[in-house]
């Protein structure tokens, strides 16, 4: 069995494939990803300017982050194991004229093929959907060049994260489809930092991502209680 089949949940991939046609609908179920994108892009660029860099986006989906990084001047590869979102990403790239290389391959398989090939690796809102996140973190560490950056984002696991990210976003505000997130798969920042360290990465910045239902806006910074981003560097 390939690592690809081993470390992916087919139900998760189906879920993203079923919603794929809505990926670039600014008012649809991926609206939160569109809204957070300029914020996370600025945060990434604050740590690692992207122009001219070779960048890998792991779990790229329909290409929201991947395209924006290519637009910023990076040479971007996007990988995912859900076929439909990748097709949507490719079509959107044709429309927008921003080129990204999209491939249906697991992070583990690409790590075996191209170790140390990338100046920057991003893996956003993805670890909470895979059976073995440690293996993805290790693959990201293998894929990035020594001394270069890997950026992660995911959801914290505590009562507040459950209330806001599952009950709030899926049931009350209906920002996300019901069943988008499985609380048991959320990852505490300390757990992610220790996975990163075990993989040879040095975590150096942790920051939160917050949604205000009053202003209906996202902001970056502050506590990592719910959604958070972690920056790390390969030693």
Phi/psi for 15 (5° steps) reads: -60, -45
x/- binding map, residues 155-174, to ligand SAH, per CB under 6 A? --------------------
- Out of 44, 69, 124, 143, point to the residue binding ligand SAH (CB under 6 A): 124
Contact call for residues 129 and 10 (beta carbons, < 8 A): no
Residue reference for tokens 């958070």: 228
Contact call for residues 71 and 99 (beta carbons, < 8 A): no
Phi/psi for 125 (5° steps) reads: 55, 35
Q: Where are the beta strands (DSSP E) in 45-177?
A: 54-58, 75-80, 101-104, 118-124, 144-155
75-80 and 144-155 beta bridge pairing = unpaired
Helix (H, G, I), strand (E, B) or coil at 209: strand
- Out of 56, 72, 76, 81, point to the residue binding ligand SAH (CB under 6 A): 81
Under the binding rule (CB under 6 A), the answer on residue 106 touching ligand SAH is: yes
Instruction: Give min distance, CB of 140 to ligand SAH, in A.
Output: 11
Residue 55 or 81: the one with the smaller Cβ distance to ligand SAH is: 81
Region near ligand SAH per CB under 6 A, out of 95-103, 125-133, 141-149, 185-193: 125-133
Under the binding rule (CB under 6 A), the answer on residue 126 touching ligand SAH is: yes
Residues in contact with ligand SAH by the rule CB under 6 A? 7-8, 12-13, 16, 33, 59-61, 64-65, 80-82, 85, 106, 124-126, 129-130
């Amino acid at each position: 069995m390939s690592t690809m089949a081993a470390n992916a949940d087919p139900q998760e991939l189906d879920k993203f494939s079923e919603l794929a046609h809505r990926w670039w609908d600014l008012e649809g179920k991926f609206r939160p990803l569109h809204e957070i994108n300029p914020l996370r892009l600025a945060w990434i660029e604050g740590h690692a300017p992207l122009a001219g860099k070779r960048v890998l986006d792991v779990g790229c989906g329909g290409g929201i982050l991947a395209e924006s990084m290519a637009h910023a001047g990076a040479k971007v590869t996007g990988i995912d194991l859900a076929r439909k979102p990748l097709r949507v990403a490719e079509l959107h790239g044709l429309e927008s004229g921003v080129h990204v290389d999209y491939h249906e391959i697991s992070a583990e398989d690409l790590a075996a093929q191209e170790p140390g090939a990338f100046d920057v690796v991003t893996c956003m809102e993805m670890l909470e959907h895979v059976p073995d996140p440690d293996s993805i973190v290790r693959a990201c560490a293998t894929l990035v060049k020594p001394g270069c950056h890997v950026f992660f984002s995911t959801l914290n696991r505590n009562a507040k994260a459950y209330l806001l990210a599952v009950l709030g976003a899926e049931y009350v505000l209906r920002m996300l489809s019901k069943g988008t997130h499985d609380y048991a798969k959320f990852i505490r920042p300390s757990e992610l930092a220790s996975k990163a360290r075990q993989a040879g990465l040095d975590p150096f910045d942790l920051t939160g991502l917050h949604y205000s239902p009053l202003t209906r806006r996202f902001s970056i910074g502050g506590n990592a209680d719910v959604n958070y981003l972690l920056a790390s560097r390969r030693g």
